């Protein structure tokens, strides 16, 4: 079956705005608010700019990307095959990573933040999409999460059960929502950066689920259950 070729201008605009939010977060806030970070050390240190603290909310752009991913991946996978879906994901991710990661490694070497052997290891781990640190840049943390979601969708396609996409998305979303309710209720701050919770979509699954539900309401039907 052929894949959808439709593009969504609104989604592209939203993706661009989310990218701008994240960029301002890193270079307008993170670079001075976290002086031990790679960005701050590579620039030699940036004076604090409290007046720019408002861009600290730009991290929300990452969550917007996850919602967009839930929508776009569900849409593109519906009439796809496991092989075509896999090939499409590789074409989407690999070229950008294989171009940008070497540049990041070179920058690390130029500013003295990495030894050659360390840079090579970081580059290899990044290029091979290893889901755990170290990478050439910490911003690659989202790739493992995206791939985890892709793996779920691919599995449904592999077993011919894409009809379960809605149920799976709801379960993922509910588990994620429950986790954050308990997190804030009991102060589970030690789990805030737990990588295994990220890779199992416990941290961010709710956002992918929202994207899938938006896809369902846009192309299937708006129901009370999907609105809830």
Note the pTM of the prediction, 2 decimals.
0.89
- Is residue 185, in this structure, part of any structural domain at all? no
Q: What is the percent of the chain where pLDDT is above 70?
A: 89
- Is residue 143, in this structure, part of any structural domain at all? yes
Whether the per-residue pLDDT at 4 is higher than 60: the answer is no
Confidence of residue 37 (pLDDT cuts 50, 70, 90): low
102-143: pLDDT as tens digits: 998 998 888 777 788 888 999 999 999 999 999 998 889 999
- Is residue 38, in this structure, part of any structural domain at all? no
Domain with 117 in it: 82-152
- Is residue 90, in this structure, part of any structural domain at all? yes
Please count the helices (runs of H) and the strands (runs of E) in the chain. 11, 0
- Is residue 170, in this structure, part of any structural domain at all? no
Q: Report the interhelical angle of 9-25 vs 60-77 (nearest 10°).
A: 150
- Is residue 120, in this structure, part of any structural domain at all? yes
Our count of domains for the chain comes to 1
Categorise residue 114: left if φ over 0, alpha if ψ from -120 to 50, beta otherwise: beta
Residue 59 CB-half CA count within 13 A: 8
| Structure tokens, 164 | 């379960």
132-172: pLDDT as tens digits: 999 998 889 999 999 999 999 999 999 999 999 999 999 99
Please state the length of the chain: 228
- Is residue 116, in this structure, part of any structural domain at all? yes
Cβ atoms within 10 Å, residue 151? 14
- Is residue 123, in this structure, part of any structural domain at all? yes
- Which residue blocks in the chain are alpha helix, DSSP H? 9-25, 31-33, 38-42, 60-77, 82-110, 116-127, 141-158, 165-186, 195-199, 205-219, 224-227
Whether the per-residue pLDDT at 43 is higher than 70: the answer is no
| Structure tokens, 212 | 């899938």
- Average pLDDT, stretch 189-193? 94
């Amino acid at each position: 079956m052929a894949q959808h070729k439709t593009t969504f201008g609104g989604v592209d605009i939203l993706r661009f705005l989310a990218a701008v939010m994240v960029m301002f977060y890193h270079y307008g806030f993170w670079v001075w608010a976290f002086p031990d970070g790679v960005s701050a050390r590579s620039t030699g240190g940036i004076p604090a700019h409290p007046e720019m603290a408002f861009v600290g909310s730009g991290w929300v752009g990452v969550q917007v990307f996850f919602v967009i991913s839930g929508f776009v991946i569900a849409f593109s996978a519906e009439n796809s095959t496991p092989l075509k879906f896999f090939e499409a994901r590789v074409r989407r991710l690999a070229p950008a990573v294989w171009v940008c990661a070497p540049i990041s490694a070179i920058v690390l070497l130029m500013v003295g933040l990495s030894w050659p052997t360390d840079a090579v290891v970081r580059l290899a781990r990044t290029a091979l999409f290893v889901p755990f640190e170290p990478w050439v840049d910490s911003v690659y943390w989202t790739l493992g999460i995206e791939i985890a979601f892709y793996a779920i969708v691919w599995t449904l396609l592999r077993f011919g059960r894409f009809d379960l996409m809605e149920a799976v998305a709801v379960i993922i979303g509910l588990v994620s929502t429950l986790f954050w309710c308990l997190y804030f209720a009991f102060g589970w701050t030690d789990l805030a950066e737990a990588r295994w919770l990220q890779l199992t979509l416990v941290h961010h699954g709710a956002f992918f689920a929202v994207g899938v539900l938006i896809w369902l309401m846009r192309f299937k039907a708006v129901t009370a259950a999907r609105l809830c």
